[in-house]
Structure 1
């Protein structure tokens, strides 16, 4: 019985990985993100700032220690458990500029879960 539970667990994780989506929205951009009908988003990781110098070219891209403190909670609230959501990648959306003079982006990692 114990082996069966582990197997079911692992198959579920593989399925979730197969449906995994990662989205980057450059600063000033807007995007609709979502899942097919009958499914909702489960947010795994999200932030507004800069952690990867190769994403969204712009000013001071080598500075990668930047994240708006409330950004993950905001995105989970706006998108988690919903079929789709509309995100605007700006300082105003997340309440402040987490790293001045640096180009930022919104990063969201999620998978779709059947209702």
Structure 2
């Protein structure tokens, strides 16, 4: 299951209302393909990523044994950025080989990607 979300904030500055769109967040279940996507001529900029399992994950499998999301190290982020940054869309298929380790053996994992479009 792929879950996309973004947040819109309204900020009052003097007499003007300024809209700021926070980073998008996409959750992709292990061994499924998810798409990061921007509109029009905007392109992806990956900000951060996590891999692991949460008890409220919608990924199939036993998520009770592990409740941790491991933050991406520099090498993993660089690989993801090289693959996706400056593109309008990018497909990712999370797996232990992409991450470089298995933070929750025997558990359905998810890749959580935070990115914005510029």
TM-score, reference length from structure 1:
0.68
Greater share of residues in helix: 1
Q: Which consecutive residues of structure 2, in runs of 5 or more, have no partner in the other structure?
A: 1-12
Larger strand proportion of the pair: 2
Match of 2:70 among 67, 85, 88: 67
Q: Give unmatched runs, 5+ long, in structure 1.
A: 1-6
Q: How many residues align?
A: 102
Higher relative contact order (CA 8 A, sep 6+): 1
Runs of 4+ in 1 over 6 A off after TM superposition: none
**Whole-angstrom CA distance in 2 between matches of 1:105 and 1:64:** 11
TM-score, normalised on structure 2? Answer: 0.67
RMSD between aligned residues:
2.8
CA contact (8 A) 1:49 1:66 kept: yes
